[in-house]
Amino acid sequence: MIRKSVLLLIFLPFIFSACKGPVEKTSTISLKDIAAQLQLLDENVMKVQAEDPTTPNGQKRVMPRTINKDGSLAVVPAGDWTSGFYPGVLWHMFELTGRPEWKEKAIKFTAILEEQQFNGSNHDVGFRMFGSYGNALRLTNDESYIPVLEQSALTLIARYYENVGCIRSWDFNQENWQCPVIIDNMMNLELLFWASKQTGDPDYYDLAYRHAMTTMYNHFRPDNSSFHVVDYDTITGEVRVKDTHQGYSAESSWSRGQSWGLYGYTMTYRFTENIYFLKQAEKIANFLLGHPNLPEDLVPYWDYDAPGIPGEPRDVSAAAIMASALYELCTYSENGALYKEKADKIMESLGTNYASAPGENYGFILGHSVGSKPGDSEVDVPLNYADYYYLEALVRKTDLEAY
């Protein structure tokens, strides 16, 4: 196994922190073309803000998310679960290019989310704040970002249920669920692990560790695929039901959820060095890469068990998350060479066949993602988190190949 020092493991959210010089090619998408797309996206966001500045309920439109069914650009409020990804995209562009204009834009859009440190309406405070403020701190060392992140962690742990051993994900559908926990929630543990190190308070670490353990025991099937939602009894902590909200069925393998799990357990191993978490990440990776319904180009269908394969939509966001996770996992695992090879293949596929044509898709980098196929929402469209994890994967690939 490729071993890192304990210090490197502790700081691996910051492992890819140094701003690199420009990279000429990114698996067929040049940084010049990416920059042109993002400049277009910025212009289109400003147009929406000028022409239709608020949502029907009066919230200010601030962040680009996707393309609406009517073909218009969806610019969402700060409280949207995806609001942290666009600032994160800008931070990644600064990281890849070192150019000050990306830093300036990233600072501007990050600041918009300051009040979200108190938004405890769901588990997504980690997504909102670590993609934005977390990257801001990592790349600038500006300590003014620290209090916002610390408060964000406090907001997140307020959703922890001691009897369950997990952070409650959602508050809706209370007529059916008591304490729903989704596999996506593994991603938000990074904020808590960071907070434990930053503050010296072990409670953040312990809660995150227990959430990961509880999820590992209850979310995964014998074949190492994951349920999307596990609902717990708030009194006994027992599992009430295993369900889905975005997958084809409760028993199917929703693609983005599988990628969240892969990424989440790889990251959890980074902070804990617990071999069980590494093994879990490897099991998930091997399930995905060996799945008979994974296409040759390694860009999965929206659900690995969707009934209409091969006529089902692909989910580029699931592929981008998987690539980024595999680039990290390859630094820990005895199977590292294979995982690096597969991540490279995903990035090549995304750049070759799933990138937006120059000037199209309002400036999003990638197309062909799926938000919720059962809800007929955001099907075969760009999504800001696909762009975020694609650029994060590119940063990781660039750093790996620099040594």
CA distance 400 to 2: 13
pLDDT tops 50 at residue 12: no
In a domain, 370, yes or no: yes
- 122, two tokens: 């769901």
Q: Is the dihedral of CA 112, 117, 120, 126 positive or negative?
A: positive
Rounded to the nearest 10°, the torsion over CA 373, 377, 379, 383 is -120
Weakest-pLDDT range from 16-30, 125-139, 177-191? 16-30
Q: State the DSSP code for 172.
A: S
Q: Taking the model in full, what pTM does it have? A: 0.94
pLDDT tops 50 at residue 212: yes
Instruction: Please tell me the predicted confidence (pLDDT) of residue 9.
Output: 35
How many distinct structural domains can be found in the chain? 1
Q: In terms of Cα–Cα distance, which of 187, 32, 108, 88 is closest to 392?
A: 88
Domain limits for position 386: 6-400
Please write the tens of the pLDDT for every residue from 298-307: 999 999 999 9
Instruction: Please tell me the predicted confidence (pLDDT) of residue 403.
Output: 73
Residues known to be catalytic: 124, 184
Helix 85-97 vs helix 384-400: crossing angle, to nearest 10? 30
Q: What is the mean pLDDT of residues 8-13?
A: 38
Q: Is 274 left (phi over 0), alpha (psi -120 to 50) or beta?
A: beta
In a domain, 151, yes or no: yes
pLDDT tops 50 at residue 308: yes
Q: What is the mean pLDDT of residues 274-283?
A: 98
pLDDT tops 50 at residue 5: no
CATH number for 68:
1.50.10.10
Confidence bin at 387 (pLDDT 50/70/90): very high
pLDDT tops 90 at residue 222: yes
Tell me the sheet residues that pair with 160. 167
Please write the tens of the pLDDT for every residue from 315-338: 999 999 999 999 999 999 999 999
In a domain, 159, yes or no: yes
Confidence bin at 246 (pLDDT 50/70/90): very high
H helix or E strand, kind and range, residue 160: strand 160-161
Q: State the DSSP code for 182.
A: E
Confidence bin at 29 (pLDDT 50/70/90): confident
Confidence bin at 381 (pLDDT 50/70/90): very high
Q: How far apart are the first and last CA of the chain?
A: 17
Please write the tens of the pLDDT for every residue from 75-100: 999 999 999 999 999 999 999 999 99
Q: What is the mean pLDDT of residues 248-254?
A: 98
Q: Is 28 left (phi over 0), alpha (psi -120 to 50) or beta?
A: left
Instruction: Please tell me the predicted confidence (pLDDT) of residue 173.
Output: 87
Greatest pairwise CA separation for the chain in angstroms: 56
Confidence bin at 11 (pLDDT 50/70/90): very low
The mean pLDDT of the chain is 93
pLDDT tops 80 at residue 8: no
% of residues, the chain, pLDDT over 90: 92
In a domain, 1, yes or no: no
Contact assessment for residue 329 and residue 281, using Cβ atoms and an 8 Å cutoff? yes
Cα angle: 164, vertex 131, 196; to 5 degrees? 50
Q: What is the pairing mode between strands 160-161 and 179-182?
A: unpaired
Weakest-pLDDT range from 16-30, 93-107, 137-151? 16-30
